Amino acid sequence: MQTFTEALGAINTPSLNFADTVRVISANNLNSNIDVVAHIQGGSIANGGLALLTDKIKFTINAKSYGAQLAFSNPKLNSIYNERGVNDPIPFIDPRNWLNNLNGNITTYSDGKDGHGFIKNYGVEAILRGEAAEQQQNGNHDN
């Protein structure tokens, strides 16, 4: 049931918890950016929680998703990086991700690895690629 509600983009209990946590982090770290790193289902949870946050908080979020369940696309976020492995067997559950893939919002990365586990198939190198994309996007905000 939880996965079904996330696929529909519904706000569920994990999304409420995400939003509450981000609000607390934001209140305790004024003028700081918040890194949200999500793997597959975590992206759906975070996306649901984003709907409950103010635009001011959203603009402090650097969002990175790994896997094909969800790609962040909220224009209010400070930066966005979405990556799926070329052999990631998880389907695009949310139809909006097909559009994200077509418009280049998802980086498809191939390093010859197979499967779906985060560390095995994404790991440190994927985090570094996401951070590089974040720095590039944040540089673009300054112009």
Q: What's the CATH number for 2-142? A: 3.40.50
For the chain, 143 residues long, the average pLDDT of each consecutive 10-residue run is 57 88 95 89 87 95 83 88 70 59 63 52 72 80 49
Model confidence pLDDT, tens digit, residues 31-70? 899 999 988 788 888 988 999 999 999 999 999 888 767 7
Q: Where are the alpha helices (DSSP H) in the chain?
A: 2-7, 13-28, 41-50, 55-58, 96-102, 118-121, 123-142
Across 124-134, b (16+ Cβ under 10 Å) vs e yields eebbebbbebb
Contacts of 1 (CB under 8 A, 6+ apart): none
Domain positions in the chain: 2-142
